[in-house]
Copies of this chain bind each other. A is one copy, B any other.
Amino acid sequence: MKRVAIRTEGEGDVQDLTPAVAEAVRASGVHEGVCVVSAVGSTCAVTTLEYEPGLVEDLGAALERVAPKNARYAHHERWGDYNGHSHIRAALLGPSVVLAIDGGRPVLGTWQQVVFVEFDTRPREREVAIQVVGGPAGPQRSKRNA
């Protein structure tokens, strides 16, 4: 498994993981398989997005409609850490994306990037787990208990 360390600037920071994912797939030697890209933590997420500043802003605006920063959160009342919206946005977007691997490369559209989304209110040191499973070619039928 590959662990990618990233440093974020806090809420609203979106980073392109596509090159790291492509490199992890290449390094694995897997030609036909699947690749999971997973955010480690409960206030961040991974999805796919056309990675351009306009959509990064628009994603934040949409999530503000669902989990507004200044709404009432029971999480705040219990724990006083004022990042209830961060947790909820992360749970809604989901922690991981899984891609098919074909011919040794992750299958993505031309304008489709794998992105890490920071929801926590402060800059963080983050870790992304990239795991590849599969084989050299064809439908993957692994041997039991090999």
Contact = CB atoms under 8 A, between A and B. Distances in A.
Interface residues of A, number: 79
A49 B75 CA distance: 12
Interface string A129-142: 11111111111111
Given A62-B92, A84-B54, A146 B145 contact: no
Given A27-B139, A100-B1, A57 B74 contact: yes
B143 A142 contact: yes
Interface of A: 1, 3, 27-30, 32-34, 36, 38, 40-42, 47-50, 52-55, 57-59, 61-62, 65-67, 71-79, 84, 87-88, 90-102, 107-109, 111-113, 129-146
24 contacts: A1-B101, A1-B102, A30-B139, A33-B133, A34-B36, A34-B98, A41-B112, A42-B50, A55-B91, A58-B67, A58-B75, A62-B92, A65-B65, A65-B67, A66-B66, A100-B131, A107-B129, A131-B134, A134-B141, A136-B144, A138-B144, A138-B145, A141-B144, A143-B143
